[in-house]
Copies of this chain bind each other. A is one copy, B any other.
Amino acid sequence: MADSLAELQGTLDAFIEERNWAQFHTPKNLAMSVAIEAAEIMEHFQWCTGEESYSLPQEKRAEVANEIGDVLVYLLQLGRVLDIDIIAAARDKIVINREKYPVEKAKGRSVKYVDLD
């Protein structure tokens, strides 16, 4: 992975600070923004099957990377504004899920019950 998340956070902080944009970043607006960008990722997979979704043409893959970048930027900013460590939050969810889906029970479970959350 290219950079650590902390470096990215610093780059983003500077970008926002220079433009005086933090004033518009209410948690409500940022939550809305994460969702808007998440839908833009989905748009690239709107009509293909699950199987086909593995084989994106190169230019589409680049667009998906852009939207993934957008989601992460807004998610980082939401964590910043709410003082939530997003990596710790994700790590805590995996711990919770280990309990919820013990390996002995989780292996071979039907697709209807597969969840990372």
Given A5-B4, A78-B68, the answer on whether A117 and B73 have CB atoms closer than 8 Å is yes
Copy count, this protein chain? 4
* Contact across chains for A61 and B43 when beta carbons are under 8 A apart: no
Majority secondary structure, A binding face: helix
Identify the closest chain B residue to A47 (Cβ).
Answer: B111
* Contact across chains for B54 and A26 when beta carbons are under 8 A apart: yes
B residues less than 8 Å from A117 (CB atoms): 33, 37, 70, 73-74
Write the residues of chain A forming the contact surface with B, with a CB cutoff of 8 angstroms: 1-6, 8-9, 11-12, 15-16, 18-21, 24, 26-29, 31-54, 56, 61, 64-66, 68-79, 81-82, 84-94, 96-98, 101, 103, 106-109, 111-117
